[in-house]
């Protein structure tokens, strides 16, 4: 976050979103979009686009490195046609709970989940022009290419 703040990243992200322009966060790019993170006992403010805490996975083996399926919500445009595919993850930290409450007038973000070692975590979020994945679509073969294509086509 220090590096992102040094180049006014949160401001740039906020301005793009305010103008309805798309933003795609991947891996740490997703993590910085949340309210805050805790790493090695140090708490850091994130961009606060979504409520939630990025924290260390509670799994027997960390980092989570390898291929994994995801639980895609109904209505996902990002995962259309690749709902049952596997995606490549490499991370030790993630958001493990989702507590966003909507006012009933605004569409709720679509949250995709995954599990590693019995620990469930947010794998992707689709929220209007703001989209993010905890996994690496660019390393996820044909499924990742299809997902990125869907994101670009939705621009």
Q: What is the per-residue burial (b if ≥16 Cβ within 10 Å, else e) of 15-31?
A: eebeeeeebbbbbebbb
Q: What angle do CA 42, 9, 137 make, to 5 degrees?
A: 85
Note if 138 is an active site residue: yes
Question: Of residues 27, 49, 91, 126, which has the active-site annotation?
Answer: 27
Question: Of residues 35, 91, 138, 153, which has the active-site annotation?
Answer: 138
Q: Are 52 and 99 in contact (CB under 8 A)?
A: yes
Q: Which two tokens stand for residue 59?
A: 């799994």
Note if 27 is an active site residue: yes
Helical H runs in the chain?
2-6, 9-18, 28-31, 141-153
Q: What angle do CA 91, 55, 4 make, to 5 degrees?
A: 75
Question: Of residues 91, 116, 136, 153, which has the active-site annotation?
Answer: 136
List, by residue number, the catalytic residues: 27, 136, 138
């Amino acid at each position: 976050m220090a590096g992102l703040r040094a180049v006014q990243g949160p401001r740039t992200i906020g301005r793009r979103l305010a103008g309805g322009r798309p933003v795609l966060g991947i891996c740490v790019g997703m993590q910085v979009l949340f309210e805050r993170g805790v790493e090695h006992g140090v708490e850091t403010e994130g961009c606060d686009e979504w409520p939630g805490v990025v924290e260390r996975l509670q799994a027997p083996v960390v980092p989570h490195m390898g291929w994994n399926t995801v639980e895609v919500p109904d209505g996902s445009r990002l995962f259309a046609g690749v709902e049952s595919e596997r995606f490549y993850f490499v991370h030790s930290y993630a958001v493990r709970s989702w507590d966003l409450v909507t006012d009933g007038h605004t569409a709720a973000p679509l949250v995709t989940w995954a599990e590693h070692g019995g620990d469930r975590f947010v794998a992707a979020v689709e929220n209007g022009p703001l989209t993010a994945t905890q996994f690496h679509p660019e390393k996820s073969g044909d499924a990742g290419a299809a997902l990125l294509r869907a994101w670009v086509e939705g621009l």
